[in-house]
Amino acid sequence: MSGESWRRTLPHPSQRSWLPQPSTRASLVVVLVFGAVLGVLMGAGSAGAQSEDSGPQAIFGQLDYEDVELQEDIAVPGVVIEVDGVGTSETDNNGEFRIEVPGPGSYVVTLDVETLPTGINLRNPENNPLNIEVRESSDQRVLFPLIEGEAGSGGESGGVSFRRVAQLTAEGLKQGLYLAMAAIGLSLIFGTTGLVNFSHSELVTWGMLSTYFFNFYGLAGVIGFLAPLPPPFGGGVNLILAAVLGMLCGAALGYVLNRVVFRSARQAGVSLIAQMVMTIGLSILLRYFFLYLFGGSPRTFGDYAAQRAVSIGPIELTPKDIVAMSLSVVILVAVASYLEMTKMGKAMRAVADNRDLAESTGIDVERVITWVWVSGAALAAISGVFFGLDQVKWDFGFRILLLIFASVTLGGLGKAYGALVGALIVGLAINLSTLVIDAEVKNMVALLILAVILLFRPQGILGQRERIG
Amino acid sequence: MDWGFILERTISTMFGVEVMVFALAAVGLNVHFGYTGLLNFGQVGFLAAGAYGLGITVTYLSWSFWIGILFGIVYSIVLALILGLPTLRLRADYLAIVTIAASETIRLLVRWRRSQEITGGAEGIGEFADPFYDVSINPFSVGVRYEFGPFSYVGRDMWVLTVGWIVLILTVLFVRRLMSSPWGRTLKAIREDEDAARALGKNAYFYKLQSLMLGGVIGGMAGMLQVIQKGSIQPDTFNPVITFTIWAILILGGPGRTWSPVIGSMIYWTLIAFLENVLRDLPEGASETLDDTIGLSDFNISQVRFMLVGLGLLLLARYRPQGIFGSREEMALDDR
């Protein structure tokens, strides 16, 4: 394998210089830039904080359900709540609603079941509509407990039916396609540099979060003084434009990480093991930086958050899922043709295959590595945006780290197409596994796949048979 | 700001429970990584295996606490076998991928709704540690606060600390003795050049598996001591950050050296405690300025701490992979 061969070309540790290289200054610059971005984003964040208005009396509440897989309460936006004879309200992105009522008295509150997202139901359908007593001088909270799955079943997995298999296949395909975009970059970075990049999952989160910030705060989310200008500079921009900006942010972070952190490490002869520990450190640094900025609770994008599913045969998907899945197919085909047809794409595969040979034929390996980092990070960012259509969360990337690594190993570390095939298999396998096991532990199937593949075919499906022990 | 108070609290952490537990866990990781070169990124899984081995035996099986300790060790060995058997024949990075994934999977498995009966699910396990404090040789009474100069600990912690530090020191001496034995020297040979060790007829796979088990058992003991001190087992305390903190501690002290886990742990926790105590004790104006400008408050200080762990690990691995006191010849985070 290529990683093996060029590893031997590194100087022996005793010959290496462990003195800090001139690039220390560059790392310092990055830290400072991060600090500045942090300050600006915090400013934007506090500007967007909601203020509770204390108007006349109101009926209010919050709709959420516990996601069995994430073990977290997830807000349900876009649900219509009606107070008879007073008015209606739609839950916002935090699942909150508030309907002002003329005064104390008895009201009938109805939740429009039709507006609930697919798969989410009332826990007690008989308690809808509800009779609510509003007292003097205090707002009245209304509870509509929601659950995932059918009412009364407690979210247990149902039996095997054609409909269910079709639905899970569609969802597995969706997850596999999104995973593939994250996995290809990881695989190519390993192929070209021999580095197992544990911080790759943070690039997924980064794409998701930067898109969220553009979606809500526009370019002012990054460049603070633009705040008073109209959108797209000041206010939030539409999700589609935000996603493009988020992708650019992803590419930029990939460029910076390679340029400032890993290129200097490679040039200083830092061993691959030490570089791997560096990616671990980087991953935890970025992850808690995200938590610091974003907070711990999950959120949703401002656009297309609450969509009704449409039926295609036995399958129910939301329009945004269909668009995102089609887009990811287009992107993956584009990546494949890029790798097959362009000079840079061929160079990437050549370097991944055998670095020394590629270099001796005149390929500028460092340039190829830069492009691999930039495009890999951009792909990871898009993957984050697509995953974020369901939920935006500070540690999302880390939660799918296992899946990404299972995909890459399954397909063969370092093989671009291997990552694609591996991701689709992993996506389908874990989703279809919920036919027999709880959704809560479906990700363990990925670990099982990982263990089995390492036992019987450690080079992966598309890897060549060679000794890698 | 009361510097005396800050220093007093900082000094007390130097021999506190966290230093002891993380030092012991780092001794285990040192056996893995420092002496054998195994990339175990899931040490927290061994802590969890030890803790749950103890907790499940005492509460679910209703067996004695001391048999529970035995089971904690057995669980750690079983985990080492599960992790090691498929991966140790392969290149080093495969173990890294599998361990990081497995440790997180263990956490999900024990907090799973369906394993609630056995593992207590998300609430975890409580009330299993009393026999540890009730033994007749425990000279400390629970309610009393013991002070020695600047050090001050409550009676309950005193007993854990006494036992823990004895276990820690004995383990370090045992590992030191072991690593100068033929067995230990074979491990180091495998670390330096696995092909050469194999050419000399050593079964590298088997040695690596034994090393994984030994370090895992030491990690399991750390996990048991941690939950004995807490008095409860919470699944979410066994998160990946623990593993990375142990790594930071090991690299700080210098991998492959006898006392480096202990020294690394002391440095790490003293620094962290000092930082937190200072930040929490800032004068009114300063803390408000911090809150307004970068949103730093009591609430998210610990997030900054984890960011510093990450940054520290990044910089150490980049510029001083042999640790602060480590020697380059002995250990330099070498390729293999």
Residues A17-64 have pLDDT tens digits of 333 333 434 443 444 444 444 444 433 333 333 333 344 678 888 787
Segment B298-327, tens digit of pLDDT: 677 778 888 888 998 899 888 888 877 666
Does A402 contact B91 at a Cβ distance shorter than 8 Å?
no
Q: Which residues contact B243 (CB under 8 A, 6 or more apart)?
A: B41, B42, B43, B44, B45, B100, B103
CB A56 within 8 A of CB A100: yes
Instruction: Map residue A94 onto helix, strand or coil.
Output: coil
The confidence band for A199, taking pLDDT boundaries of 50, 70 and 90, is: very high
- Among partner residues A7, A14, A440, which is closest to B328 by beta-carbon distance? A14
ipTM reported for the complex, 2 dp: 0.83
Task: Kindly list the residues from chain A whose CB atom is less than 8 angstroms away from the CB atom of residue B101.
Answer: 401-402, 405-406, 446-447, 450
* Mean pLDDT of all residues in A93-97: 79
Does B313 contact A39 at a Cβ distance shorter than 8 Å?
no
Q: What is the pLDDT of residue B328?
A: 60
Does A271 contact B333 at a Cβ distance shorter than 8 Å?
yes
Any B CB within 8 A of A69 CB? no
Segment A166-185, tens digit of pLDDT: 999 999 999 999 999 999 98
Does B41 contact A198 at a Cβ distance shorter than 8 Å?
yes
Indicate the pairing of strand A80-83 with strand A87-90.
Answer: antiparallel
* Most A CBs within 10 Å, among B245, B318, B320, B330, to test the A interface: B318
* Mean pLDDT of all residues in A383-399: 91
Indicate the pairing of strand A58-62 with strand A140-141.
Answer: parallel
Task: Kindly list the residues from chain A whose CB atom is less than 8 angstroms away from the CB atom of residue B293.
Answer: 39, 42
Any B CB within 8 A of A247 CB? no
Q: Which residues pair with A232 in a beta bridge?
A: none
Upstream peptide bond of B139 is cis (omega within 30 degrees of 0): no
Does A276 contact B108 at a Cβ distance shorter than 8 Å?
no
Q: What is the pLDDT of residue A232?
A: 57
Does B244 contact A446 at a Cβ distance shorter than 8 Å?
no
Any B CB within 8 A of A23 CB? no
Does B303 contact A291 at a Cβ distance shorter than 8 Å?
yes
The confidence band for A13, taking pLDDT boundaries of 50, 70 and 90, is: very low
The yes-or-no verdict on residue A417 having pLDDT over 90 is: no
Q: Which residues contact B249 (CB under 8 A, 6 or more apart)?
A: B22, B23, B26, B261, B264, B265, B268
- Among partner residues B122, B310, B322, which is closest to A285 by beta-carbon distance? B310
The yes-or-no verdict on residue B14 having pLDDT over 90 is: no
Q: Could you tell me which of B332, B182, B196, B312 has the C-alpha nearest to residue B257?
A: B332
Task: Kindly list the residues from chain A whose CB atom is less than 8 angstroms away from the CB atom of residue B111.
Answer: 71
Give the tokens for residue A272: 């691959």
Q: Which residues pair with B154 in a beta bridge?
A: B145
Q: How far is B271 from chain A (nearest CA, A)?
A: 17
CA distance A417 to A462: 8
* Mean pLDDT of all residues in B190-211: 92
Any B CB within 8 A of A245 CB? no
Total residues found in chain A within this entry: 469
Q: Which A residues, 365 through 404, put their C-beta within 8 Å of a C-beta on chain B?
A: 398, 401-402
